[in-house]
Amino acid sequence: MTMKRPLGVLAALALAACAASTPEAASAPAASAMSSSDAVASASGTPSFSDAQADEGRDIFRASCTECHYSSEFQDSQFKFKWGRRSAGNLYQLIQNEMPETNPGSLSPEEAVSIVSYILRMNGFEAGPSRLAADRTILDQISLASIREP
Ligand code: HEC
């Protein structure tokens, strides 16, 4: 559980580096206000979740999911292979719409996004200061590509 892989951070740094080297930020004064706020958004990384939120997700997972799942299923190579091509939004939607299999749709959006946070954390994403919103548009900004194995 304390195992952390730096991939999320590296991806965030790469994004920040790209944003910093965007030429418009330096050249076009009219666009500079917009570009610099974009750069701020990128520098602080893709949307993140808080540790408390991931802990809540872990507790909900233990209460509602372990009847059928081991948490290790959500970080094994099969999971990484499949979900490394999708987003946190896809994961959120599946959990929210289809799980728990015996009572689909019974999780609140907050519960579902907490479980997503927990799964992100166990796949090496770093927690941040703020909570992740239960918002598909925001969740879709979190690519799971970093969980793919080489
Ligand atoms: C009654 C059994 C059952 C319960 C309880 C259950 N699941 Fe599932 N879950 C399944 C089955 C069956 C599948 C489909 C497996 C497959 O198709 O490979 C599945 C698939 C999934 C997948 C997709 C896995 C993948 O690799 O694509 C996720 C994510 C998931 N469940 C999350 C949850 C979460 C989170 C909970 C608790 C809120 C939960 N499940 C509770 C039976 C259950």
Using CB distances shorter than 6 Å, the residues near ligand 1 are 61, 64-65, 67-69, 79, 82, 91, 94-95, 99-102, 107, 115
Q: Where are the alpha helices (DSSP H) in 29-129?
A: 29-43, 51-64, 77-83, 88-98, 109-122
Angle between helices 109-122 and 51-64 (to 10 degrees): 100
**Is 91 found in the same domain as 60?**
yes
Assess whether 57 and 82 both reside in one domain: yes
**pLDDT tier at 150 (50, 70, 90 boundaries)?**
confident
In a domain, 87, yes or no: yes
- Asked whether residue 113 is assigned to any structural domain, the reply reads yes
Separation of alpha carbons 104 and 81, rounded Å: 25
Closest ligand 1 atom to 79 CA: 26
Rounded average pLDDT over 118-134 = 96
C-alpha to C-alpha distance for 144 and 88, rounded to whole angstroms: 6
Per-residue pLDDT reduced to its tens digit, 18-67: 444 444 444 444 443 443 333 333 345 679 999 999 999 999 999 999 99
**Does residue 119 share a domain with residue 87?**
yes
Tokens of residue 5, six digits: 């892989």
Residue 28: domain span = 7-43
Question: Token pair of 130, please?
Answer: 């703020």
Ligand 1, atom 25, lies closest to the CA of 79
CATH code for the domain of 108: 1.10.760.10
